[in-house]
Structure 1
Amino acid sequence: MNGAEAIAAAFAAAGVPAVFGVPGGGSSLDLLAAAKARGIPFHLARTEAGAVTMALATAELAHRPAAALVTRGPGVAAAANGLANASLERAPLVLVADGLGTAESRFATHQRFDQAAMAAPLTRAQAHAGEGAGAAAHRALLAALGAPRGPAYLELPGDAARAPAEPPPPWRPPALPPPSSDAVARARAMLAAARRPAIIAGLEATAPARCAWVRALAEALHAPVLVTYKAKGVLPDAHPLFGGVFTGGAAEAPLLHEADLILLAGADPVEFIPQPWRFAAPVLDLADWERGMDYAAPALRLAGAWEAADLAPTRAAWPDGAIARHRRAWLAALENGPSGNRGLSPSAIVRGAQAAARQAGADPRAAVDAGAHMFPCTSFWQAERPGDLLISNGLATMGHALPAAIAAAIHDPGRGALAFTGDGGLLMAMGELATACALRLRLVVVVFNDAALSLIGIKTGGRDLPARSLDWPECDFAQVMRGLGGQAWRAGNEAELAAALRAAFECAGPALVDARCDPSSYARQIAALRG
């Protein structure tokens, strides 16, 4: 066994579902061959940041660590945004990068910098295959799965990839300890005393066992559940206990002001917007780890495998109809019909996409990009299960939706995927349209095309900015998509949108709908959300 084979063996033992990347010379090709021999597929991306985002989304959907592969120097540098994304989305993955071998390092300056030091602030561990490739991969995987989860960096020089190596240690994934019996008893007492508890489910609640636990607790308590963006689907939007989406802003405040206990079920503070905590009720925090929480000190934290706690709840006493009333008010506050004549309402684009998917018998996972369009997408796209909506929330980076949707379509070809992206985000990730077309994925891309950075435009505050600081000439994304081998349509009104979406969801391969969007209602919607 050589070093590349030892790493592939460690990946296979940990259940790594796929490797994504942009290979270079050196060790990249050795690792690709070793992964193929172990049955681990490789998917060629067009950008390193896109490859890491594909690995991130795969890890979230598979609940297993994924891997990304880049060349040394510019490959590692270009992967930095993907690493930051994975770090703040708490996604377990290993980035494998080529490095300088022992002989090369004596004289090489070309493409040389301290890659591990660059990756250090963004990763849970930095390992070097020269110290033992199998053991290094094993350590990186364990670090990625530790609490909080995130990316790890593994440097694999060419000489280490081809040198004899020991097999990796036996794989035993890290396990969280159960909460203490004393903490569980105190949590039971808090729930027994509460008359109007409310649950906020977050990214740690998306694993199947935890999702089932949260649903059972909510139904036993008859308590409303709000979900963070990452936890959409932990409780279905159509469930009578669904209270809306929680960000820490104003839209969900009326419901939580009525609560006398707020239970954070795996809601990581990285998911909340940077505003003061608005709520007076005591907080019961169910968390993977003993984290700091600057927003509000919890009255009690159950740290570890919190889904193992038997909280033996008693039915609470929310007034009949109260949860439904709050949910209706939340949706009404976030509605953003057009107030100008520049194109389609953002919420009409989202609802039109879901209606067209259902009419076609499709059930795609939706990936959402950062930007003003994310607010109608996260509000109005109906989710039934965790993973029905993929989003960059902790980092909130543009360019996330398309590579995440590509990963979702690869992960589950039967369901396929839908990417909701702004024109700015798509321009950043344009090369990955070629990836989707080359792989012939079942993927629909919907572009909110308003030829501007609309979310940033709302924040100008009357500043006198240089011309074209926040906008650009309108791009014809449909023409770009056709040039890459996909199918595409443009839509400027609801009739054109309905026809385009219907045709897109009937396609066997990738399709794009370039929707001319009216951004005039975004400011009103964001004010309702955040206050």
Structure 2
Amino acid sequence: MDMTGAEAVIRAFATAGMPALFGVPGGGSSLDLIAAAKRAGLPFLLARTETGAGIMASALAELTQRPVGLLTTRGPGVSAAANGVANAALERAPVVMLADGFGAREAGFATHQRFDQAAMLAPVTRARLIAGPRPPGEAAAEALAAALGAPRGPAYLELSGEAARAPCAAPSPFRPPARPAIGPEAIAAARGLLAGCARPVVIAGLEATAPARTAALRRLVEALGCPALVTYKAKGVIADAHPLFGGVFTGGAAEAPLLHEADLILLAGADPVEFIPQPWRYAAPVLELAEAAPALRYAPPALSLIGAWEEAAEALTEGAAPRPWPPGRVAALRAAWAQALLVPAHGNRGMAPAEIVTETQAALEALGADPRLAVDAGAHMFACTSFWRCRRPGDLLISNGLATMGYALPAAIAAAWHDPARGALAMTGDGGLLMCLGELATAAALRLDLTVIVFNDAALSLIEIKKGARDLPEGALDWPEADFAGVMRALGGAAWRVEDAVGLRAALAEARATPGPKLLDVRTDPSGYPAQIEALRG
């Protein structure tokens, strides 16, 4: 009995390679855990909201491919974090939520702030562990294993103040769960499918962002000479500038012309949670590569390779006969895809969303900046995901499976903290930013190299499109235009108001020379959104 329960939990986290804890502490076990983390050299970052902390943890877990901690107090802390945990669940991010609980001495009388926290989080967690009745280090190790299992996702660990301070044994060294190897018979069958096709196409999904998988998939695509599409989560697995890049796959209409010409579709780590809810529209057989068999499939695969699929991709590359498409065909289809989505605005209320994206990236590249981009949910995300060029996984962060608003700012905070040399850029709608406004104070307190660009059209533009002919009351989908630049200055950052491309470039140049977080409040014309969404989704 050489350590406390809090120290045992933190020891387990540290040996698993956890890079940080995010959260909003309360009483009970929270302060013991933060103190133990300091002694162990595990950073704790204070967020302003529990949901923001959960999104930060999720984004960092995706970037590092490691488990990340989310710390909350009991009761309202747990309930407020639920959206962040749901985000981790549907983005397949290994987050371990560590919440305060009720000790044995409180069991007979404590009802204040008390409900079944584990039961509330059951639908969005891989496992729920209560430390105290079982050794805290053992419970922490089981939570870590659940979070890192296939498919990855969040786990819940509850630790009361009583259990946090009680003596306990040190945990055993943590060993991550192994991935099963894919047998030679399955690989031979996959080779047969490839040998029988003339126009294969690859769709890379979120599992392909792990470094070994990215490398293996790039080699396979180049060996075959076939086009490759990426989901939002897999932007950069095949660089936008690569001659075999075919566009972005969502399950919608924009990518359909390319896929209708394919006679074999390789789904490489593409999780069904990434696709929009439309039926699978392609007749070509599907070769599925995945960590685990998905609970729901859009189309029954002709063959599934389940397990350590990067090894299978390497095996398929060896001796693969090239399967190139006709000269110029991939480039023509890619250009048609991009042109269909490049819809200009036709109002006079500010900049077109696509113009904001392309002008921002061009200006930053000219200034020598290469930030990671975090994108919020909303109509502006279609321009961001289509036209922000990525070179490697993690260049773009997005909540795709859950598609929660209020994502971009906390995700960009995690990215800027993780990699100060690159910094981060958040592109958010005004509605999304209003949902997490307090996290501007987090960015200011941390003095991060973070730029927030607000697509300010004073409305829920995507919901406005969805309303159709419904007669809604005034103010149901819009609000008075907010002065986000004024808010940013009040919270300790620098800010600019932007009306046009000239002003955007000038503001970005000034922002680049300004230390700490900054915000550009960009007046945005939403008039092109309906046509863009029609082109994208059909």
**What TM-score comes out, normalization by structure 1 length?**
0.99
Aligned to 2:424: 417
Aligned to 1:306: 309
From 497, 502, 505, give the equivalent of 1:498: 505
Aligned to 1:50: 52
Q: Is the 8 A contact 1:351 1:380 kept in 2?
A: yes
1:489 aligns with 2:496: yes
Secondary structure, counterpart of 2:519 in structure 1:
strand
Aligned to 1:443: 450
From 456, 459, 466, give the equivalent of 2:463: 456
**After superposition, where does 1:295-444 map in structure 2 within 5 Å?**
295-309=298-312, 310-311=315-316, 312=318, 313-444=320-451
From 157, 161, 167, give the equivalent of 1:158: 161
CA distance in 2, matches of 1:441, 1:50: 16
Amino acid at match of 1:15: G
CA distance in 2, matches of 1:322, 1:337: 26
- Deviation string, structure 1 residues 98-129 (Cα, Å, up to 9, x no partner): 01111112101110000011111110000111
From 511, 520, 531, give the equivalent of 2:527: 520
Aligned to 1:111: 113
CA distance in 2, matches of 1:226, 1:505: 33
Aligned to 2:31: 29
**After superposition, where does 1:142-291 map in structure 2 within 5 Å?**
142-291=145-294
- Aligned-residue sequence identity (percent) comes to 68
Amino acid at match of 2:94: P
Deviates further, 335-344 or 449-458? 335-344
CA distance in 2, matches of 1:166, 1:87: 31
Amino acid at match of 2:271: D
Secondary structure, counterpart of 2:107 in structure 1:
helix
**After superposition, where does 1:5-154 map in structure 2 within 5 Å?**
5-130=7-132, 131-154=134-157
1:294 positional shift: 3.5
CA distance in 2, matches of 1:508, 1:262: 47
Q: Is the 8 A contact 1:490 1:513 kept in 2?
A: yes
CA distance in 1, matches of 2:195, 2:251: 26
Aligned to 1:511: 518
1:421 positional shift: 0.3
Q: Is the 8 A contact 1:352 1:501 kept in 2?
A: no
Deviates further, 201-210 or 101-110? 101-110
1:317 positional shift: 3.3
RMSD: 0.7
CA distance in 2, matches of 1:87, 1:519: 31
Amino acid at match of 1:25: G
Secondary structure, counterpart of 1:20 in structure 2:
strand
1:479 aligns with 2:486: yes
CA distance in 1, matches of 2:324, 2:159: 59
1:383 positional shift: 0.5
Amino acid at match of 1:441: L
Amino acid at match of 2:293: E
CA distance in 1, matches of 2:403, 2:45: 24
CA distance in 2, matches of 1:501, 1:455: 27
- Deviation string, structure 1 residues 109-164 (Cα, Å, up to 9, x no partner): 11000001111111000011111100000000000000110000000100100001
CA distance in 2, matches of 1:11, 1:505: 36
Deviates further, 84-93 or 170-179? 170-179
Secondary structure, counterpart of 2:168 in structure 1:
coil
1:293 positional shift: 3.5
Question: Gapped runs of 5+ residues in structure 2?
Answer: none
Corresponding residue pairs, total: 531
CA distance in 1, matches of 2:257, 2:449: 40
1:507 positional shift: 2.0
- Deviation string, structure 1 residues 270-304 (Cα, Å, up to 9, x no partner): 00000011111000000111223441100000000
Amino acid at match of 2:370: D
Secondary structure, counterpart of 2:41 in structure 1:
coil
CA distance in 2, matches of 1:445, 1:486: 11
1:506 positional shift: 2.4
1:408 positional shift: 0.2
Secondary structure, counterpart of 2:374 in structure 1:
strand
Q: Is the 8 A contact 1:478 1:489 kept in 2?
A: yes
1:171 positional shift: 1.2
1:336 positional shift: 2.3
CA distance in 1, matches of 2:60, 2:178: 21
Q: Is the 8 A contact 1:356 1:505 kept in 2?
A: no
Q: Is the 8 A contact 1:368 1:401 kept in 2?
A: yes
CA distance in 1, matches of 2:207, 2:332: 28
1:360 positional shift: 1.7
Q: Is the 8 A contact 1:236 1:383 kept in 2?
A: yes
Deviates further, 286-295 or 35-44? 286-295
Deviates further, 77-86 or 285-294? 285-294
CA distance in 2, matches of 1:211, 1:506: 34
1:399 positional shift: 0.4
Amino acid at match of 1:75: G
Q: Is the 8 A contact 1:54 1:406 kept in 2?
A: yes
CA distance in 2, matches of 1:481, 1:352: 22
Amino acid at match of 1:272: F
CA distance in 2, matches of 1:508, 1:212: 35
Amino acid at match of 1:342: R
Amino acid at match of 1:515: V
- Deviation string, structure 1 residues 179-224 (Cα, Å, up to 9, x no partner): 1221111001101111100000000000000000110000000010
CA distance in 2, matches of 1:317, 1:379: 25
CA distance in 2, matches of 1:432, 1:498: 25
CA distance in 2, matches of 1:289, 1:44: 35
Deviates further, 167-176 or 2-11? 167-176
Deviating 4+ runs (over 4 angstroms): none
Secondary structure, counterpart of 2:198 in structure 1:
coil
Question: Gapped runs of 5+ residues in structure 1?
Answer: none
1:55 positional shift: 0.5
CA distance in 2, matches of 1:281, 1:315: 19
CA distance in 1, matches of 2:264, 2:230: 16
